[in-house]
Amino acid sequence: MNFEMIGITVLWTFLYGYVIVASIDFGAGFFNYYAMETGQHQKVSHIIQRYLSPVWETTNVFFVFFFVGIVGFYPDTAYYLGTSLLIPGSIALILLSIRGSYYAFNSSATKPRKSWAFLYGVTGLLIPASLSIVLVISEGGYIYEDAGGVQLDIEELLFSSYAWTVVFLAIILVLYVSSGFLTYYASKAKNKSAMETFRKWFLIWSLPMIVISQFTFLSLREHNFEHFQSAQDYWYLFGLSLLTMLIAIFLFWKRRNLGLAFILIMLQIAFAFYGYGISKLPYILYPFIDINTSVVNESMAFALTIVFILGLVLLIPSLYLLLRLFIFDKDYVEGREEEGY
Amino acid sequence: MDEVLLGRIITASTLGFHIIFATIGVGIPIVIMVMEFLGIRKKDTQYLTMARRIAKGFTVTIAVGVVTGTIIGLQLSLIWPDFMRLGGQIIALPLFMEVFAFFFEAIFLGIFLYTWDRFKNPWHHWLLNIPIVVGSTLSAVFITSVNSFMNTPSGFELSEEMFVNIDPIAAMLNPSVYVRVFHVVATAYMTAAFILGSIAAFKLIKNKFQKDAEYHKKALKVTMSIGIVTALLTILAGDFSAKFLHNEQPEKLAAMEWHYETETHADLVLFGVLDEENQEVNYALRIPWALSFLSGNSFDTEVTGLNDIPEDEHPPLVIHYFFDLMVVFGMYAFGVALLYFIIKKFTRFNEHHPALLYLYFLAGPLSMMAIEAGWFLAEMGRQPWIIRGYMRVSEAVTNADGLGIVLVSFIVLYAVLGFTCSYVLVKMFNNSSAESSREEYYGEGVDAK
C-alpha cells in the first residue's frame, strides 16, 4: 500500500472511532439533561456519569488525532478547509469547549447545576451538527477559488437540502447510538428500570434513523451525482449496513443479546461509513484535494507511518485497560467498588 | 484593524489563556506523584489526601486545558492556513507525536482519577503516575519542538517557495529544541509547585480550619522543596537560553536587551526607558560586561547589535520589558523558596510567620506571570517571521472574512471559562477541610503521623 492510502485509511478509522465514542458521549450528555427535565434523573443519571467520567477526555483526543493527522498527511486540507471554515470551525470549537468544560465543572462541583447540565446537554447535539458541515463541504460545490483566495459560499450551504439532511443524520445518529449503548450498559449494571428507559429511547430513535439514512442517499444524488454513482458500486456495503441495523433493532426489541446488538450497531455504522469513504476517493475535498496529489512529502509520510505504528503499540493496550476497568468490569459498572488503601 | 494584527491577537489570547492550564497540566502530575509517594512510603494519610485533593482540582483545570488545546490545534489551520500548508510538510511529525503523548496521558489520567479505591496494593495505583508524567511531559517536549522549528528552522532546503529534501528528524531536533524544551519543562514544574505552595500559604494565613494547619505545613514543605530544585534548573535553563539566542537568534537577544552597537564587553541592561531616536537607554540598571559574559562565558564575546540587522527584521523593542518581568518574577519565586529553607534550617525564627506566608503566597501567581511574560518575549521576539527567515506572519494570515467577530467570541468564551473554572475550584475547597476529606477517604480512626 502506498502512503496516501495508508494515511487516509488510518485517518478514516480514527474518524470512525470518534463517531462512535463521541456519539455515545454527546448523546449521553443530552439524555442526562432530558432525564432531569422529565424527572427521570434519579433512575438513569448515575449510569451515565459512571460511564462518562473516566472516558470523556479520551473521546476528545480521537477528534484531535483526526485533525492533526489530516493536516499532517495532507497539508493542503489546512489551506482549503482552514480558509473556508473560519466561521463554522470557530462555532464548532466554541461548542466543543463549552461542552467539555461544563461537563467537567458539573461533575466536579460540590453541587451540580441544572443550567450546566443544560449547557453540555444541548451543545452535545449542536456539535455533531456543526462538525458534519465539514463532510458536507467536502462534497464540493460550496467553496470556490478566486483572485482573493478560497471562499465559502454560505448562502449555497444554508439553502442546500443535502447539507440539512446530513445535519439531521448526525443528530439522529448521536441519539440512536448513545441510547443503544446506554441500554447495553444499564443491562450490564443490572439496572432494570434504567435499561427499560434507555431501550424505549433507542426504539423511538431507530425509525427516524432508517428514514434519514435513505434520505441522505437521495440528496447526495441531487448534489454530487458522480459520488452517488460510485457509491452504487459498493451497494453491498450499504446493504450490509441496513441488514445489521435491522437485526440490531430486532434484538433490542426482544431485549436479547444486547452486547451483540450494540456490536451490530457499530458494524452498521462501519459499513455505511467506510462505504461512503471508499466511494468518495480519490477526493478529500472535491475537486480541490485529491489524495494522490496532495499527500505530504515522502520522507514525512514514512516518518508519520512509523510513528503511527509505534503509537498504536502503546495505545491499544492502554485503551484495552481502560475498557477493562470501566466498561467490562462488573463491579465498577454495577457501582460496587472494592475497599482500597 | 488589519487582518494580520487581528490574527495575532486571536492566537495570542488563545495561547495566553491555554498556557495557564497547559503549565498546570504539565507540572501538577509530578507534584501529585511525589505526594502520593510520600504518603505510601511514610504511611501518612495526610500526604495521600493531599494527592487526592490536588487530583480532584486538577480534573477541572485539565478540562479547560484540553478544550483550549483543541482550540489552538485547529486555530492554527483556521487563522494561518498558508503557514500550515507550508509548515505542515515538516511539523506534522512532532504535532502527531504530541497527540499520541496526550492520548496516552488522557487514558491513564482517566484510570488514575477513578481507581483510588480499587487496588489492594497502593503502589499499583502509584505506578499509574508514571505514564501520566511521561505523557504530559512528552506533549510539552513535542509541542515545544514545533515552536522551536518556527524559531530556528532546519532539516530542509527551499526551492521555489516549497520545502524539499525534508529530513523530519533533523527538523524536530532543530538548533533551539534542547534549550527550549529544558526551559519549558523546568518552568512548568516550578510554576505548578509554587502555585500549590501559594494555596498552602493562603490556607495557613486564613486559618479557617485549625486542625488543617499541620496538613498545609506539610504541603508547603513539599512544594517549596520541588520549587527550589526546579527553580535552580530554570536558572540554568535561562543561562543556556542566553547562549543559544546569541548563537542562533541574535536579533531577539539584541531587541530584548536594547543592544544597538555590535561590540565586545557588552552590558546587561535591566529596566530603564528607551529613547529610540538617540538609541539611548535611560534610568536603567546596567551590569557592565554581563551580556557578553552570559552570551559566551567570556567578556570578549562580541554581541550583535540591532544596527547590524535589517530594519524590517527588527523584533518589537517592547520585549525588553517582558524579559525584565520574567527574570524578576522567576527570581522572586526562587528567593522565596530559598528564604523558607534558610529560616527553617539555620535560624530560630518561625518559618510560618504570617509576614513570610504572604511572601510565599505571592510566589505562585508571580511564577505564572513569569511564564506569560516569557512566552510573550519568545513569540514577539521572532516577529516579523512566522517561520523565521522563510515566511512572514503577514503572508500566512487567512484571507477569510470575519476575524473580528471570531476574536470577540473567543475572548468572551475565555472570560466565561476562566471565571467558571475559578468559581468551581474555590467552591470545591473553600468549605471542605482537608481533615474531613482525610476522614472521608481513610476513616476517622487513622491518625496522621
Domain for residue B8, yes or no?
Answer: no
- Site from B53, B60, B70 to mutate, A interface, most A CB atoms within 10 angstroms: B70
> Does B373 touch chain A if contact means CB atoms closer than 8 Å?
no
> Does B331 touch chain A if contact means CB atoms closer than 8 Å?
no
Are A94 and B413 a contacting pair at CB < 8 A? yes
Residue of chain A whose alpha carbon sits nearest to that of B39: A341
ipTM surpasses 0.95? no
Chain B hits for A326, CB-CB cut-off 8 Å, are: 110, 114
Domain for residue B183, yes or no?
Answer: no
Are B110 and A54 a contacting pair at CB < 8 A? yes
The mean per-residue pLDDT over the stretch B309-323 comes to 87
Domain for residue B2, yes or no?
Answer: no
The mean per-residue pLDDT over the stretch B100-106 comes to 86
C-beta neighbour count of B268 within 10 angstroms? 19
Are A75 and B118 a contacting pair at CB < 8 A? no
Residue of chain B whose alpha carbon sits nearest to that of A97: B67
Is residue B387 classed as helix, strand or coil in its secondary structure? strand
Residue A330 makes CB contacts below 8 A (sequence gap 6+) with A188
How big is the CA angle at A85 (ends A80 and A89), to the nearest 5 degrees? 135
Chain B from 11 to 50: CB within 8 A of any A CB: 40, 48
* CA dist., res. B106 & res. B113, Å (int): 11
Q: What is the pLDDT of residue B410?
A: 95
- The most distant pair of C-alpha atoms in chain B lies apart, rounded to whole Å, by 75
- Site from A49, A55, A71 to mutate, B interface, most B CB atoms within 10 angstroms: A71
Are A100 and B67 a contacting pair at CB < 8 A? yes
C-beta neighbour count of A242 within 10 angstroms? 15
Domain for residue B81, yes or no?
Answer: no
Mean pLDDT of chain B: 87
Number of H-type helices and E-type strands within chain B: 15, 8
Chain B from 139 to 198: CB within 8 A of any A CB: 163-164, 166-169
Q: What is the pLDDT of residue B297?
A: 78
Residue of chain B whose alpha carbon sits nearest to that of A79: B81
Q: What is the pTM of this model?
A: 0.89
Which of the four pLDDT bands, split at 50, 70 and 90, describes residue B445? Answer: low
Are A340 and B116 a contacting pair at CB < 8 A? yes
Most confident of A90-94, A107-111, B98-102, B149-153: A90-94
CB contacts < 8 A, A to B, total 239
Q: What is the pLDDT of residue B449?
A: 42
> Does A131 touch chain B if contact means CB atoms closer than 8 Å?
no
Range of the domain at B379: 190-397
> Does B102 touch chain A if contact means CB atoms closer than 8 Å?
yes
Most confident of A48-57, A138-147, B65-74, B309-318: B65-74
Chain B hits for A82, CB-CB cut-off 8 Å, are: 77-78, 80-81, 84, 398
Q: How far is CA A111 from CA A52, A73, A107, B53, B162, in A?
A: 18, 45, 9, 17, 56
Per residue in B193-217, is it b (16+ CB within 10 Å) or e — as a string? bbbbbbbbbebbeeeebeebeebbe
* CA dist., res. A170 & res. B17, Å (int): 31
- The answer on pLDDT for B246 being more than 90 is no
Q: How far is B249 from chain A (nearest CA, A)?
A: 27
- The answer on pLDDT for B188 being more than 90 is yes
Domain for residue B281, yes or no?
Answer: yes
Q: Which of A72, A102, A152 sits opposite B95 (nearest CB)?
A: A72
Give the rounded percent of residues in chain B with a pLDDT score beyond 90: 42
Nearest C-alpha neighbor of B193 from the set B221, B162, B235, B160: B221
Yes or no: say if B202 and B355 are a contact pair by the CB < 8 Å rule. Answer: no
Each residue's pLDDT tens digit in chain A (341 positions)? 587 788 888 888 888 988 998 898 898 888 888 888 888 877 777 778 777 777 777 788 888 888 888 888 888 888 888 888 888 889 999 999 998 888 888 887 777 788 888 888 899 889 998 888 888 888 777 777 777 777 777 777 787 788 888 888 899 999 999 998 988 888 888 888 888 888 888 888 888 888 888 887 777 777 777 778 787 788 888 888 889 989 988 888 888 888 888 898 899 988 888 988 888 778 777 777 777 777 777 888 888 888 888 877 877 888 788 888 877 777 777 776 543 33
The mean per-residue pLDDT over the stretch B333-348 comes to 91
Which of the four pLDDT bands, split at 50, 70 and 90, describes residue B33? Answer: very high
Q: How far is A332 from chain B (nearest CA, A)?
A: 9
* CA dist., res. B318 & res. B301, Å (int): 25
Q: How many domains does chain B have?
A: 1
Domain for residue B444, yes or no?
Answer: no
Give the rounded percent of residues in chain B with a pLDDT score beyond 70: 98
Domain for residue B117, yes or no?
Answer: no
Q: What is the pLDDT of residue A336?
A: 62
Q: What is the pLDDT of residue B444?
A: 64
Domain for residue B392, yes or no?
Answer: yes
Are B110 and A326 a contacting pair at CB < 8 A? yes
Residue of chain B whose alpha carbon sits nearest to that of A306: B93
